[in-house]
């Protein structure tokens, strides 16, 4: 596992490659496949690295297969964008049932996002599945759900993606949403089929709750002052990310006293919002990141969705005692979300800094998740939707936050999954005008840029004045792109 072994001889090789920026993208070597046994490569490197004229890149090419980005090799003259996307699925489909380097083998084919992301990503996949279902590709949807189930059963949780360097964290828990998508297509028997895996998924997120008599937080779980349990993002490692090694080292050099910097960077990656002012103590500088000190709105709403799905699964299967257990759990989390994440002064939901016992400053689209899962009161929902209309809706869709920084999950960017969350949230609370505006503005943005480039991208600026400008992030905008394709198709048919 070249990407995780950072202390052995192969770890030294890995560190040298990343520190010297042998590859432009730090993910490239993390994804490399060794051509020989790692101990052999490590010993050879230790022997040769100090030879006169030693060429590190040549050594890597002799001993590793270097993957390339997954380009979307389809002509944009396929007809409409919908036709283009329907044809693109096969180009983005991967099948690997054997472990290769850092890549974890899976039993079924899956759709990768595209570009540098050539593996199965957790929360991306739900939004991709929305489009697959519209394309009639239920085979891929079910296979991907079964891949995630395989990961739950084999390693105990769903990692960020099927790479060994992601085995220290998960991602936004959309597994229950995937199961619900299948339930809509195949009936309630789906809930029974996946109930055990749903329980294991829930157990992963709630692990550590048994330790909270001595401390306020353990792993992903936080015990609030009134005894309520809420959750945070977390990573079990506090070391530089293999896929961002040199970047993390450089950041630590700015704040050498920040002993939790690496873990907070990793936890932000678990959030999917890597990176955003949401997680920054000063709202601007990445070295002030404090992800693990924050109770996030989106995480707790999606865990509520998981709890509600388990409640329904036990109801369907006729297990009264477990149904009553989850009725209590669901009610408790709803109360805690309203108590700790509603900010009366701003009239929106906001993340909560549990060490400071106050809301964070950030106002982000995460405020829409309580509406998306349907737990907001009509009064609170009206205030949130009014804020979104006034401050976050732009000509190209919804801004991610109301501040512009160098981070890609801030203004001026919009992201497909959050457009879908916003669209569904507005519909759920009867604001068809806002829902329609989100849908039409976002789709027009996609169509406008597709006409220019012939591609669909990972993210989009939602204000025209940012056309052609760098809009932040530690890597370039990627094309493909799974969740953009999925949400566009689903909105088109809505």
Tens of pLDDT, residue by residue over 270-319, are 999 999 999 999 999 999 999 999 999 999 999 999 999 999 999 999 99
* Angle between helices 432-453 and 482-492 in degrees, nearest 10: 130
Quote the pLDDT of residue 98. 95
Quote the pLDDT of residue 475. 87
Which residues have C-beta within 8 Å of that of residue 1, sequence separation ≥ 6?
A: 38, 102, 164, 165
Query: Is 346 inside a domain boundary?
Result: no
Quote the distance between the C-alpha of residue 6 and its chain's center: 25
Quote the pLDDT of residue 76. 53
The rounded distance, in Å, linking the Cα atoms of 350 and 195 is: 31
Quote the pLDDT of residue 71. 58
Query: Is 277 inside a domain boundary?
Result: yes
Query: Is 251 inside a domain boundary?
Result: yes
Mean pLDDT for all residues in the chain: 94
Quote the pLDDT of residue 1. 40
Residue 205 has which token pair?
């997120």
Quote the pLDDT of residue 244. 95
Quote the pLDDT of residue 471. 75
Q: What are the pLDDT digits (tens) for 166-191?
A: 999 999 999 999 999 999 999 999 99
**CA nearest neighbour of 480 among 456, 448, 452, 454:** 456
Q: Say which residue the tokens 């009134």 belong to.
A: 226
Instruction: Report whether 386 contacts 346 (CB < 8 A).
Output: no
Quote the pLDDT of residue 247. 95
Mean pLDDT, residues 133-138 taken together: 97
Quote the pLDDT of residue 386. 98
**Count: domains in the chain:** 2
Quote the distance between the C-alpha of residue 459 and its chain's center: 13
Quote the pLDDT of residue 292. 98
Which residues form the domain of 268? Answer: 242-292
- Boundary residue ending a domain (234, 260, 292): 292
Bridge partners for 93 per DSSP:
111
Quote the pLDDT of residue 79. 76
- Boundary residue ending a domain (65, 97, 112): 65
Query: Is 178 inside a domain boundary?
Result: no
Q: Say which residue the tokens 């016992």 belong to.
A: 357
Decide if pLDDT at 194 tops 80. yes
Percent of the chain with pLDDT over 90: 89
Percent of the chain with pLDDT over 70: 96
Decide if pLDDT at 375 tops 70. yes
Bridge partners for 111 per DSSP:
93
**Catalytically annotated residue among 201, 235, 431, 458:** 458
**Catalytically annotated residue among 142, 274, 307, 351:** 274
Q: What are the pLDDT digits (tens) for 27-62?
A: 999 999 999 999 999 999 999 999 999 999 999 999
Mean pLDDT, residues 126-154 taken together: 98
The rounded distance, in Å, linking the Cα atoms of 149 and 156 is: 10
Q: What are the pLDDT digits (tens) for 59-79?
A: 999 999 998 876 555 555 667
| From 209-218, 240-249, 328-337, the region with the lowest mean pLDDT | 209-218
Query: Is 154 inside a domain boundary?
Result: no
Catalytic site includes residue 274: yes
**CA nearest neighbour of 54 among 16, 24, 25:** 16
Peptide bond into 339 cis (omega under 30): no
Query: Is 285 inside a domain boundary?
Result: yes
Decide if pLDDT at 338 tops 50. yes
Quote the pLDDT of residue 5. 41
Decide if pLDDT at 371 tops 80. yes
pTM for the whole structure:
0.96
Quote the pLDDT of residue 472. 78
Q: Say which residue the tokens 């919804």 belong to.
A: 398
- Boundary residue ending a domain (292, 310, 329): 292
Query: Is 155 inside a domain boundary?
Result: no
Query: Is 92 inside a domain boundary?
Result: no
The rounded distance, in Å, linking the Cα atoms of 206 and 493 is: 37
CA angle 204, 207, 212 (to 5 degrees): 160
The rounded distance, in Å, linking the Cα atoms of 241 and 245 is: 5
């Amino acid at each position: 596992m070249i990407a995780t072994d950072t202390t052995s001889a192969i770890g030294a090789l890995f560190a040298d490659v990343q520190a010297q920026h042998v590859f432009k993208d730090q993910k490239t070597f993390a994804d490399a496949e060794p051509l020989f046994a790692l101990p052999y490569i490590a010993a050879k490197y230790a022997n040769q690295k100090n030879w006169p004229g030693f060429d590190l890149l040549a050594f890597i090419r002799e001993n590793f297969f270097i993957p390339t980005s997954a380009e979307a090799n389809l002509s944009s003259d396929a007809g409409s964008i919908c036709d283009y996307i329907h044809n693109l699925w096969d180009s983005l489909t991967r099948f690997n049932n054997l472990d290769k380097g850092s890549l974890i083998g899976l039993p079924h084919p899956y759709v990768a996002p595209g570009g540098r992301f050539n593996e199965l990503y957790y929360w991306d996949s739900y939004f991709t599945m929305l489009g697959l279902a519209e394309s009639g590709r239920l085979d891929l949807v079910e296979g991907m759900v079964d891949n995630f189930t395989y990961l739950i059963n084999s390693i105990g949780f769903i990692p960020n993606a099927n790479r060994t360097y992601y085995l220290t964290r998960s991602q936004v828990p959309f597994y229950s949403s995937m199961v619900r998508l299948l339930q809509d297509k195949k009936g309630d028997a789906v809930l029974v089929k996946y109930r055990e895996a749903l329980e294991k998924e829930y157990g992963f997120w709630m692990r550590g709750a048994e330790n909270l008599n001595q401390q306020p937080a353990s792993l992903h779980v936080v015990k609030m002052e009134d005894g309520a349990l809420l959750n945070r993002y977390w990573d079990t490692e506090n070391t530089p990310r293999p896929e961002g090694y040199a970047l993390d080292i450089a950041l630590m050099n700015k704040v050498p006293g920040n002993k939790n910097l690496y873990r907070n960077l990793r936890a932000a990656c678990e959030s999917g919002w890597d990176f955003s002012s949401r997680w920054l103590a000063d709202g601007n500088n990445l070295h002030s990141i404090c992800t693990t000190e924050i109770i996030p709105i989106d995480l707790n709403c999606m865990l509520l969705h998981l709890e509600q799905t388990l409640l329904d699964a036990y109801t369907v299967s006729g297990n009264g005692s477990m149904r009553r257990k989850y009725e209590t759990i669901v009610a408790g989390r709803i109360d805690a979300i309203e108590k700790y994440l509603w900010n009366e002064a701003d009239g929106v939901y906001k993340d909560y800094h549990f060490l400071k016992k106050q809301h964070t400053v950030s106002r982000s689209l995460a405020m829409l998740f309580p509406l998306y899962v349907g737990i907001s009161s009509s009064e609170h929902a009206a205030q949130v939707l009014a804020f979104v209309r006034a401050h976050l809706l732009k000509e190209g869709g919804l801004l991610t936050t109301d501040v512009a920084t160098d981070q890609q999950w801030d203004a001026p960017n919009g992201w497909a999954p959050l457009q879908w969350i916003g669209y569904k949230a507005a519909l759920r609370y009867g604001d068809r005008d806002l829902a329609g505006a989100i849908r039409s503005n976002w789709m027009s943005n996609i169509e406008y840029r597709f006409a220019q480039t012939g591609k669909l991208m990972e993210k989009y600026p939602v204000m025209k004045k940012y056309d052609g400008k760098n809009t932040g992030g530690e890597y370039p905008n990627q094309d493909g792109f799974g969740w953009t394709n999925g949400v566009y198709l689903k909105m088109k048919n809505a």
